[in-house]
A and B are shown apart, each in its own frame.
Chain A
């Protein structure tokens, strides 16, 4: 059973074998994707035709590597812009929410708190379509009554940012709240007694204490925004983000350039994740 209890060899080996198979199951698709990024073939499949870096650096005419593939590079850039905007919006909203629900008391706090955690259990598709429909209705209303066409309210960059922030703010709020709960409020009172005002206390004492959790929450918002598909698909305009662009290529069949992108993303996110974990942040949610 557990470490301190004796158990038969068969039981222990059986269990270890099961876990080994589980990890093979966990990593097989990732390893295969990464290895085939280096296969000198036009298709992401075996047989192995030799090692190549063409799917990274190829300049055509047959093989376009990721660093010369304009469509994919553009969508990568779009995703970066979206993720940075979402990170800023959701870090501000999430931190405000953490303060509001941890330190203030007001009427209907329970209702508001429920609304704040609701996005975690609302499917992303629903968030996407409801925000699309709502902003479209406002846009039509403004057009009918004021005769103005507001581009901002149609599918595109601003709507994608708002749509992703609607649930990523909740995640930042939960991460920051977890640390704010442990904050010793007598520190704030000491600062007040020494003549600091509310803004100074917030800036020099509380936010400084919260910094690791704010950075951790922001990092999570960035990464989850970068990978989001379900909400984004309904809000995206003519500029596709990377997951949407990749989805089209995966669905319709593509060269191993997709493997090269995946290779870079897997390596990038793994470094990111391990760095985040070693900072003591929980690596999930």
Chain B
């Protein structure tokens, strides 16, 4: 009872209609509306480019945008650098049992909400925080120092909250790497650095790209971490969007900002995929 390709099975519409409604009403049309609003005046609804021009005219807007993009790239890179040895250790250096246990340990913090993780860092690092308490009582600091609210702490927080999305796919590809290839390279006298550079890292590219896309997207779109850990001067672009929509109630300006953020994230993801010859379909698996 094989059906021909052109005839839909009896259940086709039953599956098709809900999915179509979902994608149309919650994804496609809202984004078209976002685009439309970004090109219209707040009053009257006439066509305008002002919302985008305001972005280029006001340095605070585009500077925040460039900063957010730059920091997101730095965070993604740092996460890649830290994830490689961690994944290597869990996948190749310890035995199966311990490796499974470490894997669970790595996953648990991910399940805890971002807000709680950021809150944990706040009570550790702030002026009246735990770290200051110990450093002062050990006599290393004369008086408490504010460790929160600067760019370095914010970057550390972003690395922390997005780390797991890199470690998991990298461990996945690392597991597929045949140990005998590393053994062969070792027997032929390759140095550790050469083995990393020519065998391990090239093999892990797909995992690094998959993780990189998710990490970059999460960091670019994150709000809580930069808002709570960054300083007054380290505004994130999502905070600009939030301000326009919630504080100033200027939805058209907010729509333009939203669209710029969407364009940036799509562009960088597209470049990453093109550079490594992958397709989005494979990445999300």
How far is A28 from B129 in the complex, measured between Cα atoms in Å? Answer: 13
Additional A-B contact list (18), CB under 8 Å, known A26-B160, A45-B123, A233-B246: A29-B117, A29-B160, A32-B124, A44-B123, A45-B128, A96-B19, A115-B27, A121-B213, A125-B241, A125-B242, A165-B22, A165-B26, A192-B1, A223-B111, A227-B115, A246-B115, A250-B118, A273-B108
Q: Is the beta-carbon distance between B280 and A29 smaller than 8 angstroms?
A: no
Stretch in contact with the other chain, from B53-61, B73-81, B82-90, B147-155: B82-90
State how many angstroms separate the Cβ of A131 from the closest Cβ of chain B: 5
State how many angstroms separate the Cβ of B263 from the closest Cβ of chain A: 10
Complex contacts, A131 vs chain B, CB 8 Å: 26, 30
Chain B CB within 8 A of A150 CB:
no
How far is A112 from B242 in the complex, measured between Cα atoms in Å? Answer: 30
Q: Is the beta-carbon distance between A5 and B182 smaller than 8 angstroms?
A: yes
Chain B CB within 8 A of A183 CB:
no
Chain B residue nearest to A47 in the complex (CB): B133
Judged by DSSP, the binding face of A is helix
Interface size of B as a range: 35 or more
B27, B124, B128, B160, most chain A CB atoms within 10 A: B27
Offer 22 A-B interface pairs, CB within 8 angstroms, sorted by A: A2-B92, A30-B116, A33-B120, A43-B128, A96-B15, A97-B19, A115-B27, A117-B280, A121-B217, A125-B242, A126-B31, A126-B262, A134-B33, A178-B285, A198-B11, A227-B114, A227-B115, A229-B115, A262-B116, A269-B108, A270-B112, A285-B284
Chain A CB within 8 A of B158 CB:
no
Question: Which residues of A (227-285) have their CB < 8 Å from a CB of B?
Answer: 227, 229-230, 233-234, 243, 246-247, 250-251, 258-259, 262, 265-266, 269-270, 272-274, 277, 283-285
Complex contacts, B95 vs chain A, CB 8 Å: 3
Q: Is the beta-carbon distance between B179 and A129 smaller than 8 angstroms?
A: no
Q: Is the beta-carbon distance between A104 and B183 smaller than 8 angstroms?
A: no
Chain B CB within 8 A of A9 CB:
no
Q: Is the beta-carbon distance between A129 and B255 smaller than 8 angstroms?
A: yes
Q: Is the beta-carbon distance between A5 and B186 smaller than 8 angstroms?
A: yes
Chain B CB within 8 A of A51 CB:
no
Q: Is the beta-carbon distance between B120 and A28 smaller than 8 angstroms?
A: yes
